[in-house]
């Protein structure tokens, strides 16, 4: 049987891939898990830590990450604020139009964008749609690291693994897990590794019993299919209210924030730092440098504000 287009292309192009840029794919076939939010958060955080960050929004229909960046590019000069902006590689001037093109066209444009981004950056972050598409499969094949946010719910768990309704024991891995496992198998075939981190997002303050059962299920699944659990992100207004400005909590410094945006709690900053450590993007000991960069920039922003 003929292999699908994403498989054929990757097999053909893998050896051409430039070494260097690390590729992070934020993926989960479950919609609304927090992929675009997380992609924006990682991208902005790493800019302040000195990385040359490139992004590709592979969700051709929603374009949430791309919209976030367009807002950032508009808001910063309008507010007289200087802040770094990641390099964005678009697949098409009108991605929704491209979404209707044939898979071969989409995949070929995606792979050119990846090639260019990898030549220009040292960290490439790819946001993917909440569905199984050729471009999403392709993205997973490029991933050194897949980050999968999920809501703290068995509905989200079901996309990763199925549990027995009576015992809640894990029965089998589900569809999205298979996608990551396929990508991992293919990469291993070419001598490359794929690290996979699953983390719970929008965690409520009090949801003890559900969380305990879910933890049990996730631990069993992690053992069986080989992912690491990342630190959870709490449900916080700070993670969603700054989309119109194209900002994240990584951008905010004392005294510098858009009107009516609340000051992020220290706990949110700690959460973000723990996330970056767990994704192996920063080392615990070396992050003082990242904090210093942020503080210096904060002072600059403060003067401008
Ligand atoms: N930790 C959080 N706290 C509060 N709100 C959050 C958090 N994470 C995500 N959100 C909000 O949840 C919604 C879904 O997030 P997002 O769009 O990032 O998910 P997604 O996985 O990219 O969705 P899709 O599959 O549709 O692309 C958005 O309204 C976002 O602002
Ligand atoms: Mg999204």
Is the predicted pLDDT of residue 298 greater than 60, yes or no? no
46 vs 298, which has greater pLDDT? 46
pLDDT of residue 19: 59
Collapse the DSSP code of 291 into the 3-class scheme (helix H, G, I; strand E, B; otherwise coil) and give the result: helix
Q: pLDDT (tens digit, 9 = 90+) per residue, 149-196?
A: 999 888 999 999 988 878 877 888 899 999 999 999 999 999 999 999
* Reported pTM: 0.89
What average pLDDT does range 240-257 have in this prediction?
85
Residue 104: CATH number of its domain? 3.40.50.300
What average pLDDT does range 73-101 have in this prediction?
91
Spatial separation of the C-alpha atoms in residues 77 and 165, rounded to whole Å: 54
What are the distances in angstroms from CA 78 to CA 38, 72, 245, 251, 273?
25, 10, 10, 16, 29
Spatial separation of the C-alpha atoms in residues 112 and 138, rounded to whole Å: 12
Choice from 32, 64, 126 to test ligand 1 binding pocket (greatest atom count within 8 A of CB):
32
pLDDT of residue 54: 97
**Ligand 1 pocket, residues with Cβ under 6 angstroms:** 31-37, 59, 62, 64, 130, 201-202, 233, 235-236, 239-240
Spatial separation of the C-alpha atoms in residues 161 and 29, rounded to whole Å: 12
Residue 248: which domain range? Answer: 5-234+242-304
Give the closest residue to 272 by CA, choosing from 49, 66, 105.
Answer: 49
Q: pLDDT (tens digit, 9 = 90+) per residue, 225-239?
A: 899 999 999 999 999
Choice from 37, 128, 155, 249 to test ligand 1 binding pocket (greatest atom count within 8 A of CB):
37
What average pLDDT does range 215-224 have in this prediction?
89
Give the closest residue to 29 by CA, choosing from 171, 220, 173.
Answer: 173
Q: pLDDT (tens digit, 9 = 90+) per residue, 108-147?
A: 999 999 999 999 999 999 999 999 999 999 999 999 999 9
Ligand that comes closest to the CA of residue 34: 1
What is the tally of structural domains in the chain? Answer: 1
């Amino acid at each position: 049987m003929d292999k699908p287009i994403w498989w054929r292309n990757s097999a053909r192009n893998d050896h051409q891939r430039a070494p260097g840029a690390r590729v992070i794919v934020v993926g989960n076939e479950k919609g609304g898990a927090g992929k675009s939010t997380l992609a924006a958060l990682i991208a902005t955080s790493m800019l302040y830590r000195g990385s040359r960050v490139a992004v590709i929004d592979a969700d051709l229909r929603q374009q949430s990450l791309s919209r976030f960046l367009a807002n950032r590019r508009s808001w910063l000069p309008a507010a007289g604020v200087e802040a770094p902006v990641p390099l964005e590689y678009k697949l098409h001037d009108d991605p929704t139009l491209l979404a209707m093109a044939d898979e071969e066209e989409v995949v070929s444009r995606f792979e050119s964008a990846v090639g260019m981004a990898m030549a220009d950056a040292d960290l490439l972050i790819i946001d993917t749609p909440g569905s199984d598409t050729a471009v999403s499969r392709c993205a997973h094949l490029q991933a050194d690291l897949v980050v999968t946010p999920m809501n703290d719910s068995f509905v989200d768990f079901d996309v990763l693994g199925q549990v027995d309704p009576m015992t809640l024991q894990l029965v089998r891995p589900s569809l999205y897990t298979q996608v990551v496992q396929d990508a991992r198998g293919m990469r291993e075939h070419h001598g490359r590794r794929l690290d996979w981190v699953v983390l719970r997002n929008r965690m409520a303050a009090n949801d003890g019993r559900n969380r305990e059962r879910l933890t049990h299920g996730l631990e069993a699944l992690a053992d069986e299919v080989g992912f690491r659990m990342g630190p959870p992100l709490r449900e916080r207004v700070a993670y969603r209210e700054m989309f119109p400005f194209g900002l994240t909590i990584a951008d905010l410094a004392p005294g510098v924030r858009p009107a009516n945006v609340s000051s992020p709690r220290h706990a949110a900053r700690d959460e973000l730092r723990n996330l970056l450590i767990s994704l192996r993007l920063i080392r615990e000991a070396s992050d003082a440098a990242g904090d210093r960069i942020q503080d210096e920039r904060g002072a600059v922003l403060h003067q401008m504000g």
